Amino acid sequence: MAEEFKPGDVVQLKSGGPKMTVQSAGESAMTGIPFAYCSWFDKAGNRKTEEFAPASLVKVGDDGGKGSDPEPVKPEYF
C-alpha cells in the first residue's frame, strides 16, 4: 500500500531528484486515483509544481539541506 501524505510533508521521488513539499493530497473526484500535489524550486530558483502518484514518493527529513540526502532506493525486480 502506498504511503499517505499530508500538506507540509517533505518528499522525494523514489528514483531521486529534489526535495519537494506536499501542497495537497487525496483522491481525484473524477477517477478516484490518489495523488500528491507537490512544489519545489529548481536549480535556477524557479518554483515548480506537479502532481505525483503517492507510490512514486518517499518521505524525507526536512533539515534545510544541511544533512545528507536519503539513501538511494535499490530497484526491486519481480
**4-36 pLDDT per residue, tens:** 899 999 999 999 999 999 999 999 888 889 999
Give the tens place of pLDDT for each residue, 50-60. Answer: 999 999 999 99
Alpha helix (H) residue ranges in 1-78? none
Q: How far apart are CA 55 and CA 64, in angstroms?
A: 24
Contacts of 18 (CB under 8 A, 6+ apart): 12, 40, 41, 42
Is residue 32 domain-resident? yes
Is residue 78 domain-resident? no
Q: How far apart are CA 75 and CA 39, in angstroms?
A: 25
Is residue 69 domain-resident? no
User: Cell numbers 500535489 correspond to what residue?
Assistant: 37
pLDDT band, residue 61 (cuts 50/70/90): confident
State residue 55 phi and psi, 5-degree precision: -65, -15
Q: 15: domain range?
A: 10-59
